[in-house]
Amino acid sequence: MNRTARLIASIGLGLVLTAAAQATEKKVKQANLPSAVQKTAEQESAGATISGYTKDTVEGETIYQMGLLVDGKTKEVSIGADGNVVSTQQEISWDAVPVDVQGTFTKAAGKGKLGSFRSVSKDGKVVSYNAMLDTKGNKDRISVKPHVSDAGAVPVPVPGTNSRK
């Protein structure tokens, strides 16, 4: 299968998985969070403004997500039902993106416009950087692992937009 066909297949699969994931996500109130999740949420939100909570099922496991505003930037903390932090996504500036990752983003974007950069961390370590790509109204998310070549850039369709089909 050539590269274009693989890319189209990946985007199609991403749309299906994204639609399935959205179907299970539900807003929840802080008072309805399990006590272990409430305790972690309290610790993780110190000094931040909480924008809300959602509950999702991922691969059969319940994950609670907490939206935050920290120093004017968005942050999302995913917490397992046991109270352990699963991952965090933090809005970052272009200048905070490592130079090698900037190069990969720029090359992957082609003539599109990059924006809305995020770092994704697990166990306190950055595992990927995400950027939104707008190409003539089509919106995709590009995800790049730290210290990788061009092959590390993977466009992912964004739900609720004019993503490519």
Asked whether 53 and 33 are in contact (CB, 8 A), the reply is yes
Task: Tell me the per-residue pLDDT of 87-135, one tens digit each, with 9 for 90 and over.
Answer: 999 999 999 999 999 999 999 888 889 989 999 999 989 999 999 999 8
Output the tens digit of pLDDT for each of the chain's 165 residues: 555 545 454 455 454 445 444 457 899 999 999 999 999 999 999 999 999 999 999 888 999 999 999 999 999 999 999 999 999 999 999 999 999 999 999 998 888 899 899 999 999 899 999 999 998 888 989 899 987 444 455 555 555 444 443
**DSSP, residue by residue, 35-94:** HHHHHHHHHHTTTSEEEEEEEEEETTEEEEEEEEEETTEEEEEEEETTS-EEEEEEEE-G
Write down the pLDDT at residue 25: 84
